[in-house]
Amino acid sequence: MSKDDSLTPYQLPFPPEALEEIVVPNAAALDDREWVPQAENVWFRPLCLNRSQGYWMNLLKVKQAGVLSRHRHAQPVHGWVIKGKWHYLEHDWVATEGSYVFEPPGETHTLVVPEGVDEMIIFFR
């Protein structure tokens, strides 16, 4: 491939079943109007809700330390901590900024934002 070819976009048609791309500029927006209230001091921001393939992606924002919720997921969940830190009462690890967490389906856990954390934001899929 020549140097000039490296900057040529793909020229063939995409498969007919290919979905459109989703681009969300400034996904962790500072404007609270772009977040959906879930509980006191808890918001989420949907980024992708894919009904046909059965998955979702969203941001979860918590603005106060404490126990958030005890819950169980029917499907696997992947998380990446963008800001702050959190942990589950049932485990001995703490997810800090930059951490990746995999939650297997069927596990019950209790999410806690520790004291001293003013704001926590997680990307979940």
Domain positions in the chain = 36-124
- The DSSP result for 1-44, as a single string, is --TTGGGPPP-SPPPTTPPPP---TTTT-S-GGGSEEEETTEEE
Phi first, then psi: give them for residue 34, nearest 5 degrees. Answer: -90, 5
Phi first, then psi: give them for residue 33, nearest 5 degrees. Answer: -70, -15
Domain covering 36-124, topology? Jelly Rolls (2.60.120)
Question: Whose CA is closest to 109, among 85, 87, 90, 86?
Answer: 90
So what's the pLDDT on residue 2?
Answer: 61
Phi first, then psi: give them for residue 32, nearest 5 degrees. Answer: -60, -20
pLDDT along the chain (125 residues), means of 10: 77 89 84 89 92 89 94 93 97 97 94 96 95
So what's the pLDDT on residue 7?
Answer: 87
User: In angstroms, rounded to a whole number, what is the distance separating the alpha carbons of residues 112 and 88?
Assistant: 6
So what's the pLDDT on residue 51?
Answer: 84
So what's the pLDDT on residue 42?
Answer: 95
Cβ–Cβ < 8 Å for 80, 99: yes
So what's the pLDDT on residue 118?
Answer: 94
User: In angstroms, rounded to a whole number, what is the distance separating the alpha carbons of residues 46 and 111?
Assistant: 19
So what's the pLDDT on residue 1?
Answer: 54
